[in-house]
Amino acid sequence: MSIDLKSYREAINLDLRFVPQKSTSSLNDLLSYLAKEKSGQQLLSQINLEDEEYSTRELIRALLTVRPSGGVTDELVAMIDSMLQQELKHKTITPHQSIATVEGNYPSKAKVSVWNGDISTLKIDAIVNAGNNQMLGCFVPFHNCIDNVIHNASGIMLREACATIMNLQGSLETTGCAKITRAYNLPSNFVLHTVGPIVRGREPNEMDKQDLRNAYESCLNLAKEQGTIKSIAFCSISTGVFGYPIEQASELALETVNNWLENNPNTIEHVVFNTFGDETTAVYTNLLNQWK
């Protein structure tokens, strides 16, 4: 059973403005700190540092990926926040207002954009993360999935907030449902976490289609309920390792979002479909050009 926003809003300080902590520690200090933890020791014992050349930053990312929630100290938070805030200064940040809306016959074209970019560098009210039913982020080191990318750029407190929610819920997340957290060190303000259907190796059935619709609708409904979100960026839910065919998923996403916008006027003002790749970008563009 999935809990509602009222059940966890205060527990994760959702309405509190994020202020990054500051530290003068170096990357090597952070690496040493993480390497001493149990999860860090286990990971480092499994990879051969002599055969593989990992940078300090790559090792930090891997150690944070496998690190379970809990046991977070102010010192650790400050070291990670300082690292991510420094990296943020050297990234190209894209304000969502700078992305052109689409052309063609799509009914909600004035509110919708397609953007081939890195969602973790998008300045927007909320971004959508496609996670698994544990809702804690990816635990596979060096994995470049959207879940890992977002958690890595946000910082350690994103997993902590997700863990707080899931502990309150007491069960795995239902496919098609969504949760919301602050975005911490990301340029966005919030992260909407949802679980799409897994259809790897087969054709989507009617339940899969409804689950995917529910994932988009749950994010939009939650954004509306939060109260301040006016812009939102969707990743291509379920089309990665979950195996949903891109064209079918994209068509369903466009239809679902359009219907929601028409049924909820004066709420979300801008929806960005983050395609992150030429293939998905072409699919969305073609669908929008052929919309009837």
193 assigned to some structural domain: yes
22 assigned to some structural domain: no
Share of the chain residues as helix, strand and coil, in percent rounded to the nearest 5: 45, 10, 45
> Do 57 and 201 lie in a common domain?
no
**In the listed set 48, 74, 89, which residue is the last one of a domain according to the structure?**
89
Q: How high does pLDDT run on average in the chain? A: 95
Domain with residue 210: its CATH number is 3.40.220.10
What pLDDT score does 48 carry? 72
> Do 33 and 118 lie in a common domain?
no
CA distance 138 to 186: 17
Give the range of the structural domain holding residue 240, as residue numbers without chain letter: 5-16+93-289
What pLDDT score does 73 carry? 97
The whole-model pTM stands at 0.96
Whether pLDDT at 51 is above 70:
no
Q: What is the pLDDT of residues 219-261, one digit of tens each?
A: 999 999 999 999 999 999 999 888 899 999 999 999 999 999 9
**In the listed set 89, 105, 133, which residue is the last one of a domain according to the structure?**
89
CA 244 to each of CA 185, 237, 240, 241, 247: distance values in angstroms, whole numbers, following the listed order: 30, 8, 7, 8, 9
Whether pLDDT at 52 is above 80:
no
> Do 210 and 223 lie in a common domain?
yes
Cβ atoms of residues 275 and 247 within 8 Å: no
Q: What is the pLDDT of residues 188-218, one digit of tens each?
A: 999 999 999 999 888 999 999 999 999 999 9
Q: Which residues pair with 232 in a beta bridge?
A: 126, 271
Q: How many domains does the chain have?
A: 2
Q: What is the pLDDT of residues 77-99, one digit of tens each?
A: 999 999 999 999 999 999 999 99
